Amino acid sequence: MCEKFHYVNLNASPVFYLFCWPCSSTCHGWGWSCALIGCYLLEWLRYRIQLPRNMIENSMFEEEPDVVDLAKEPCLHPLEPDEVEYEPRSSRLLVRGLGEHEMDDDEEDYESSAKLLGMSFMNRSSGLRNNMSIYRQNPNGSCSVPSMRTMVVCTVVLVIAVSLIMAIYLLPKCTFTKEGCRKKNHTMELIYPLATNGKLFPWAKIRLPPDVVPLHYDLVLQPNLTTLKFAGSVKIVVNIIQVTWKIVLHSSGLNITKATITSAGGHQAKPVEFLEYPLHDQIAVMAPEALLVGQNYTVNIEYSSNLSDTYYGFYKISYKDENSKQRWFAATQFEPLAARSAFPCFDEPAFKATFLIKIKRDEKLSTLSNMPKKATTPVTNGIVQDEFFVSLKMSTYLVAFVVADLKNISKETNGSLVSVYAIPQHLNQVGYALNTAVKLLEFYQKYFLINYPLEKLDLVAIPDFQSGAMENWGLITFRETTLLFDSNTSSARDKKLITAVIAHELAHQWFGNLVTMEWWNDLWLNEGFATFMEYFAMEEIFPELHSDEDFLNLIFKAMMKDSLNSSRPVSSAVQSSEQIEEMFDALSYIKGASLLLMLQRYLTKDVFQAGIEVYLHNHNYGSAQSDDLWDSMNEITNGTLDVKKLMKTWILHKGFPLVTVVRKGKIISVQQEKFLYRVEPENWTSDASYLWHIPLTYITSSCNFTRCTNAYLLDQKSAVIELPEEVEWIKFNVDMNGYYIVHYAEDWKTLIGLLKKNHTALSPKDRANLINNIFNLASLGKESLEKAFELIDYLNKESSTAPLTQALFQLSLIYSLLEKKGEQQLAARVMHRIEHLLGDKIDQQRWTDDGTLSERELRSTLLAFACTHDMRNCRTTATEMFKKWMKSNGTMSLPSDVMKAIFTAGSKSSDGWQFLLKMYSSSVSEAEKSKMIEALASTEDVRKLIWLMQNSLEGEVIRAQELSHIIATVSQSLPGYLLAWDFVKENWEKLTRKFHLGSYTIQNIISSSTSQFATKAHLLEVKSFFESKSEESSQLHCVKEAIDTIQLNIQWMEKNLAKLQELL
């Protein structure tokens, strides 16, 4: 049965009468007074509820308002009760549908008040004219004395009027508004958008309806790498959960030419109407008859589209082969929302299904997909079709295919064939990745006690790729710099990067692919876990890489972001595409991982591992929420600890705690509060809502080895810990395994003395932790900058990478702010202080690739910094080496660890820059090209910087994938930081078209191009620019974060400029 829905015309103008008519001015009788009641009451009512007169008249006194029937078309579908949503948009129509019992209390008040007013004060015109005889004028123009009947009637009317006034006064003000008094469970208004053909689209929400679920896809694709278009067809088997007349799914930018539906057991495909609503990337297949619960149906859709020129969906890539001839490559990147641009699908992570993929291609090319190839059959001359085995049950964002000319090497492990693919000229650089992938795959299978479920695992180096990598099940795609290792040009840092990215993506084969987050609000379950496992696996398998030091630095940076007002909880509600894109940030990845590290160390490694095994077994091939993980952990803790209660205080709160420690003899007082740089009253909530359950750890002078680590759960605002004996010093947050900052009050003096006297009493990570904490506390105003500088005075005795890197980072922040503010002399004094602390360490570095990986990485950091700032003889030595390299026409071998420092020094001259650009264009080593790009962006020649950014955006000589890195490098220099911001402003539309609003690349571009600003003029300019753009742009988290950062920079300069002049 089809309901009809009507649009109420509130602007109709019926004939309207009150019994107010002309009468002689000499008439002062009861009749006139009685007649005026209606006029005065109406005016008072209009004033009381602040409505235009015509709205009151038409909505309350018109018995049968005009209507526009929107249901003149034959009914195609019912609108179902669960589809109710209020979501106003300019393209929407208001549709009212009142069932028999759908009127709520406020609506009944509305109706009864309107009827009462109507009965008391008005009638239709015929009734009024007939009843006007009760008041008659005498021939002399005066009014006659009213009769007794008239007086009684008027008295009754007066009583009713007074009662009405009192009733209306007590009613809610919204009762007579057009919108009415809404309730949360409001079911009166169904608001639907318009499809592209002008008909009502039967779904208004961003999320798909739950009444239909996909079971299986048959996907056939034919990409043409000459025309750069593709054609496709998809058959989707769906199951009906709730009776419906529609199937709503996703489609974006596809030209759909045909759609049919077939019932289970049916042989004839029936043509169907389909509606499109591009705003939500949705289409609706309108069934010719009701789709029944429990039944399966097959939807068949044929379509075509262009290969994308962005980094999303099914996109095209051009590259030069060994003969410098242009070739084309087609690859996919579907996460988070781009599978819909390659084929119509239910593009939400919880809608898992199986996939059978067939790809038609040129016989000279090859194809790869998630599953092994089943068969290849000829189609026409020169065209063949590859068919792949049916996939496991998985989410659409994990589907992948590549069409290109590729070569590979392979190795088998535990029944799975691991292969690494690259374009032919890069095949000699894939060996390290293959060996690393095999080791990691074997480790994960043992750790999770679940075998990798596919027969093959392909790792593919893509010549142009926005992300670092993508974990598509069975077909992992990588940027070339994160997969290819060249023994001649790849540094120790390059090796660590490649290892980390492979470890991350392989962890996803379990966390994300086998068990997937139900919705993007819990993205951290995928990314936080993969990041945690990445560093845990590297520590277990490749301890010589010292990956824990990198993780430490990432945590410090994540905490900088998390300390701002603009931060968000790790698990945050998201709906729009921009909000979903912005979830791919340091909070989901790094904070998520660090919270898991904190939990692992608190539960112990064995208990944590057992909890993970339960989680993966309970939810394999399905979807999960954060609570499912905590429930799995609670199965193992068995009541000894409520993991869910503990971790919810971290996952659902933004920010992190500051723990203040006061030591008096054996008594240690600890107190927690929220660490926040800027406290704005309107954004502040009560202290109680910021109460974390903090697994505190500490070591003391009586036993400072890791086996002596003590633990205490601080689940109150404050607590007291009693030590067994008095100690000389105490250090909390052992090895920075907890996600909190510690303020030692009076004990900072003790710790500063300890570092000067015997810094090795603390681990390198503990020393880095102290440096980070005291500089953050100085920025917050809890400690003095003088004390922070006093703490790092011990650095001339430091030899470990972690504390040296952290100190250099903190001092570089101060230097950059002063330099961009125009305080050149003071900036030079900061640099002098750095040279005083680290000069000897810089002089000790050799221009070779000798030493442990950790020593080599420290060498890269120190020499690159020294050459950039012309410290000691660094630039002279590097320039000499560059000239020799240039004289050899680039054939001379350079030490890979110091290559970036040499290139940076060489790029300072015009000839050197031009030669570097030429070598960039011809180099086949992606590791070498990456160092060249950074050096090219370090020039002080403004014209070259502009050319570099513009060329990268166009993607001709320099790929667009490098642009965010180029902008970040340009922003660091004094000549470049304003240029970078101007470039972003001038090319904003192009940037957001290429990289998508909210993407990680856009986040980086906004952050790096504004983070150096420290003036109110720049603050106003950044605010004004984003306010002038779309609402989606101005509401981005990364925009708010940029504004917060500039405000903090201004605040820091105001507080510390004078102090710095005294200190330095």
Q: What is the DSSP string of 154-175?
A: HHHHHHHHHHHHHHHHHS-GGG
235 forms beta bridges with 218, 300
Residue 890 CB neighbours (<10 A): 15
d(CA 73, CA 275): 15
Q: What is the token pair recorded at 456?
A: 């093959």
Helix (H) or strand (E) holding 237: strand 229-240
d(CA 251, CA 280): 9
Q: Nearest to residue 771, comparing CAs of 746, 807, 732?
A: 807
Residue 278 CB neighbours (<10 A): 12
Q: What is the CA radius of gyration of the chain?
A: 35
User: Where does residue 606 rank: exposed (0-12), middle (13-18), buried (19+ CB within 10 A)?
Assistant: exposed
Q: Which residues of 373-383 are buried (b: 16+ CB within 10 A; e: fewer)?
A: eeeeeeeeeee
d(CA 562, CA 567): 5
d(CA 812, CA 736): 22
Check the CA dihedral 757-762-768-772 and report its sign: negative
Beta carbons of 401 and 388 less than 8 angstroms apart: no
Helix (H) or strand (E) holding 42: helix 30-49
Q: What is the DSSP string of 833-864?
A: HHHHHHHHHHHH--SSS-S-HHHHHHHHHHHH
Q: What is the DSSP string of 957-1008?
A: SS-GGGHHHHHHHHHHSTTTHHHHHHHHHHTHHHHHHHH-TT-HHHHHHHHH
The amino acid that residue 942 corresponds to is V
d(CA 478, CA 485): 13
Q: Which residues of 112-144 are buried (b: 16+ CB within 10 A; e: fewer)?
A: ebbebbeebbbbeeeeeeeeeeebeeeeeeebe
The amino acid that residue 157 corresponds to is V
Q: Annotated catalytic sites, by residue? A: 505
* Torsion-angle region of 557 (φ positive above 0: left; ψ -120 to 50: alpha; else: beta): alpha
Which residues contact residue 196 at a Cβ distance below 8 angstroms, ignoring those fewer than 6 apart?
Answer: 275, 276, 277, 278
d(CA 290, CA 82): 17
